[in-house]
Amino acid sequence: MSHMAVETERSVPAPSIPARLLRRPLALTGLVIIAVVVLAAILAPWLAPYDPYEQFFEGLTIEGAPLPPDAQFWFGTDLVGRDLLSRLIYGAQTSLVIGVVANGIAVTIGSAVGISAGYFRGWVDTVLMRFTDLMMAFPALLLAIVLAAIFRPSLWIVAMVIAMVNWVQIARVTYTETRSIAERDFVVAERAMGAGAGRILFRHILPHLLSTIIVWATLGIATTVLLEATLSFLGIGVQPPIPSWGNIIFENQTYFTSAPWLVFIPGAAILALALAFNLVGDALRDILDPTQQGRH
């Protein structure tokens, strides 16, 4: 970053990126939601009112139905009488790992494949994109089942499996965009100056792909959390009784009409987390794009 040397001199320092994020109310809302979820995940043993695995005798009605939210169980209880709030707080750990780590890996792999194939063309393009097409044609769920069957199911294996099946769409999208950016004059100008591929890819092409990548990454959070739930439902995801937001929904979805809070509350949590990342992502995109300044 010796590059910055030029601009640091005789200039008023611009506010830092975090400071500019905090100045936007929407981005601030998103950051607060993300902070709440992260804190809940880390401090789960201290925050949760009950043990998430304990099946309370008083957690079910006489007929054996789950309890709606009340003063004792704030978010109600589930089918076997466990406290939903405690399970959600512990489930945040799983869902964060899946939504942020697994999805993050998928985005990184996808962008790397798409950008390299789009910029280098030739045989790199052929190999990488034909492989991507192959992955796309392969049913993601089937692949996940095979991978999960080979390795013993655990949270981290599930995260890897999700990353392995989720990078293909991002690769496709970034590939197409890279191809068009690579033909723009400013990239040709860089080549004319003798810039190497690394410099062009990371300093000139990647910044232009940020908005696309951010949108896909935030959309991916909700889908990966739900994919984890699907895998759990099939018995190859996070193993019960460990809670995750996705498997709470899946365990309880058949009782949606009689106990709607069991689906609605974890669903709202997933939505809020995805939305929060989206708000922060949007703000970040605008802040990082100098041509958008003063327009929001």
Residue numbers of the site for another protein (CB under 8 A)?
Answer: 2-3, 5-7, 9, 11, 184-186, 188-197, 199, 204, 207-208, 288-291, 294-295
Instruction: Work out how close the CB of 288 gets to another protein at its nearest, in angstroms, rounded to a whole number.
Output: 8
CB nearer to another protein: give 1 or 62. Answer: 1
Instruction: Work out how close the CB of 2 gets to another protein at its nearest, in angstroms, rounded to a whole number.
Output: 5
Instruction: Work out how close the CB of 209 gets to another protein at its nearest, in angstroms, rounded to a whole number.
Output: 11
CB nearer to another protein: give 48 or 179. Answer: 179
CB nearer to another protein: give 23 or 199. Answer: 199
Instruction: Work out how close the CB of 187 gets to another protein at its nearest, in angstroms, rounded to a whole number.
Output: 8
Give the burial class of 272: count Cβ atoms within 10 A of its Cβ; 0-12 exposed, 13-18 middle, 19 or more buried. middle
Instruction: Work out how close the CB of 184 gets to another protein at its nearest, in angstroms, rounded to a whole number.
Output: 6
CB nearer to another protein: give 179 or 204. Answer: 204
CB nearer to another protein: give 63 or 185. Answer: 185
Instruction: Work out how close the CB of 283 gets to another protein at its nearest, in angstroms, rounded to a whole number.
Output: 17
Q: Which residues make Cβ contacts (< 8 Å) with residue 107, sequence separation at least 6?
A: 167, 170, 213, 216, 217, 220
CB nearer to another protein: give 97 or 287. Answer: 287
CB nearer to another protein: give 95 or 212. Answer: 212
Instruction: Work out how close the CB of 192 gets to another protein at its nearest, in angstroms, rounded to a whole number.
Output: 4
SS3 annotation, the chain = CHHHHHHHCCCCCCCCHHHHHHCCHHHHHHHHHHHHHHHHHHCHHHHCCCCCCCCCHHHECCCCCECCCCCCCCCCECCCCCEHHHHHHHHHHHHHHHHHHHHHHHHHHHHHHHHHHHHHCHHHHHHHHHHHHHHHHCCHHHHHHHHHHHCCCCHHHHHHHHHHHHHHHHHHHHHHHHHHHHCCHHHHHHHHHCCCHHHHHHHHHHHHHHHHHHHHHHHHHHHHHHHHHHHHHCCCCCCCCCCCHHHHHHHHHHHCCCCCHHHHHHHHHHHHHHHHHHHHHHHHHHHHCHHHCCCC
